[in-house]
Structure 1
Amino acid sequence: MPPTSRTVRCRARLRRPAEPADATWSFLVLPAAASAGLPTRGLVTVQGTLAGHGFTATLQPDGQGSHWLKVDAALRDAAGVADGDRVALVFAPLAEEPDPEMPDDVVAALAAHPAAAAQWPTLTPAQRRDWIHWITSGKKAETRVKRLATACDMLAAGKRRACCFDRSGIYSNAMSAPKAAD
């Protein structure tokens, strides 16, 4: 899917997360002005370059009205950048959100609930991504299990969106960028 015509250019510092201590990935928080150029304060998939190296990724809300990007070791190494570097980013939101990856427990739960499974393909990719994000964002395993059961019940009842889900994290304090190790 090609990006939209909304190209964003900025620079941001690549950081190492404080937790987990053995993380192999890095992250950066977009400057507020760069994030303001995106169509939503919630999750948004973009295509662009990091230090001149191409990538496609989903930016996550930081709960402060901006977004953050998880940079895996392969992208960081291919771009020739290291934690602490200020890196150039050029990106644009994709014209259409791609289908999200389905976690195994979501696949199994839908298979066990035919009415919920029948509703799932009628959802847009962004709606499916929001459901998955809501289900998987619980910090405790029992929260995830409870949300999965609730999601199946809501989907079976014809609901298209996760109830009361703050996509930006601003109002619920449910989302944030990782804390930096430095």
Structure 2
Amino acid sequence: MTNIRFKAKLLRPASPKGAAWTFLVLPKDASAKLPTRSMTTVEGTLGGHPFQATLEPDGQGSHWLKVGRALREAAGVVAGDTVAAEVAPVAVEPEPRVPPDLKKALAAAPPARTQWSSLSPVARRDWIHWIASAKKAETRERRIANACDMLASGKRRACCFDRSGIYSKALGAPEPAD
């Protein structure tokens, strides 16, 4: 795949107040060149500075990129700037970081852990994102228990997770600050 070049405005999120990070939403034509509407890891440049990050779906058929302070400062850009970026999907999807509570639950459920180990990094990332998208602690706990049960029964994908954010609002770009 060739590199995807675009320009986008760097935005500050409305929440949390005083966030040190910024974000940008890829133009729809740039996003359409990616292999999936769901999360996809890319490497590229922002303002000429190299980075690797996972783009997330914005819930509107495009993707968004969280730009941390270090990348923003290295690229010499600030919120409100229109920045030039270039991205391409990575050749090998990186392993996701497994949250401690999920790691503990998988350790206590050998059949679930065996199935987890057989999954691709993308599938593991989807399970993690489904669990992490819970708004309440009780819901998160229930999703971890359900994930272990589903994995132990042979399921490879979270049953009800919309990877694109279009059909549910579990995924989406942050609201920009005024």
Give the TM-score range, shorter chain: over 0.9
Moved over 6 A (4+): none
Matched with 1:11 is 7
Q: Distance in 1 between matches of 2:73 and 2:138?
A: 37
1:79-158 matches, within 5 Å, as 79-158=75-154
- Paired amino acid for 1:8: I
2:17 to 17, 21, 32: 21
Deviation by residue 1:89-145 (Cα, 9 ceiling, x = unmatched): 101001221111111111111111111111111001111111111111112222211
1:66 to 51, 62, 67: 62
- Paired amino acid for 1:144: R
Corresponding pairs, count: 178
Unaligned 5+ runs, structure 2: none
Matched with 1:50 is 46
CA RMSD across the alignment: 0.9
Maintained 8 Å contact 1:6/1:93: no
Identical positions, percent? 65
Q: Distance in 1 between matches of 2:85 and 2:163?
A: 24
Q: Distance in 2 between matches of 1:83 and 1:14?
A: 5
Q: Report the TM-score when normalising by structure 2.
A: 0.97
Deviation by residue 1:6-55 (Cα, 9 ceiling, x = unmatched): 31000000001010002110000000001000000000000000000000
Tell me the SS of whatever aligns to 1:22.
coil
In the TM superposition, what is the alpha-carbon distance from 1:146 to its structure 2 partner?
A: 1.1
Q: Distance in 1 between matches of 2:28 and 2:161?
A: 22
